[in-house]
């Protein structure tokens, strides 16, 4: 009986240790000189951070996601009904943000390998700089991000202007601006073979080479790591 009890204790320790290891900690850091309101959309029932919260300059917040979690993070800017990234004028998002928004996208610990898949996406446009830095983990584990001020080079036809300040607050995707198949990769352009980069997606790619610039930009924009935690920074320092 003593040996059986010892075996149960060892099994319990192994299981609880495995649970601890399988959880992923996201640290959201605001390095912008203004408050941002991170928005969070979960692809399953495990909603992180109640969907959103304020993050003052220099502040950070940790969120723990279970194995298999998928979702996205973005920054909302402006007060009240946010100028960018708004999700219905509420603090706690229950859906995605209104484009254009820079997105950090994750799928945690999938498949036999247990790899995480992550990217920074400009497919829905751009509002603030964002970076993803793996902490620990094994595998390729590269930094992903968009640390350039895309608003500064955004063409007039894609600009969102803050009505209060008159400055460029965000840069639309060409899909959002023109709603045509060649920009949205829909209809006759719905495959990698028929949807090619455009001069607008090239503008995003030139500014942020490791970020998604259009729907089929997988080869240079999707990253993998196993067993890592992640630092997600709004307005990361440019090197």
Neighbours of 125 (CB within 10 A): 25
Q: Where are the domains of the chain?
A: 24-153+203-234
Confidence (pLDDT) at 3: 46
Query: 167-209, pLDDT tens digit by residue?
Result: 999 999 999 999 999 999 999 999 999 999 999 999 999 999 9
Confidence (pLDDT) at 46: 76
Does the model's pTM come out above 0.85? yes
Query: 62-114, pLDDT tens digit by residue?
Result: 999 998 999 999 999 986 578 999 999 899 998 899 999 999 999 998 666 78
Q: What percent of the chain has pLDDT over 70?
A: 88
Q: Is the dihedral of CA 91, 38, 224, 23 positive or negative?
A: negative
168, two tokens: 């460029």
Pick the CATH number of 24-153+203-234 from 2.60.420.10, 2.60.110.10, 2.40.160.20, 3.40.50.150: 2.60.110.10
Mean pLDDT score, 34-49: 90
Task: List, in sequence order, every residue forming a beta bridge with 138; answer none if it has no partner.
Answer: 226
Confidence (pLDDT) at 7: 39
């Amino acid at each position: 009986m003593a040996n059986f009890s010892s075996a149960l204790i060892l099994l319990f320790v192994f299981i609880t240790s495995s649970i601890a290891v399988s959880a992923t900690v996201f640290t959201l850091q605001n390095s912008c000189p203004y408050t941002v309101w991170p928005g969070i959309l979960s692809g399953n029932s495990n909603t992180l951070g109640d969907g959103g919260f304020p993050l003052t300059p220099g502040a950070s917040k940790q969120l723990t996601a279970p194995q298999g979690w998928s979702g996205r993070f973005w920054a909302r800017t402006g007060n009240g009904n946010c100028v960018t990234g708004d999700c219905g004028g509420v603090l706690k998002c229950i859906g995605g943000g209104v484009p254009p928004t820079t997105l950090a996208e994750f799928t945690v610990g999938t498949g036999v390998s247990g790899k995480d898949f992550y990217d920074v996406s400009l497919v829905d446009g751009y509002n603030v700089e964002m970076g993803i830095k793996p902490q620990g983990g094994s595998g390729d584990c590269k930094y992903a991000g968009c640390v350039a001020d895309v608003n500064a080079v955004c063409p007039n036809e894609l600009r969102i202007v803050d009505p209060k300040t008159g400055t460029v607050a965000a840069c639309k995707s060409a899909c959002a601006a023109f709603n045509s198949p060649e920009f949205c990769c829909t209809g006759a352009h719905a495959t990698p073979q028929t949807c090619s980069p455009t001069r607008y997606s090239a503008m995003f790619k030139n500014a942020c080479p490791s970020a998604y610039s259009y729907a089929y930009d997988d080869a240079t924009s999707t990253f993998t790591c196993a067993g890592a935690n992640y630092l997600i920074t709004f307005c990361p320092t440019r090197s």
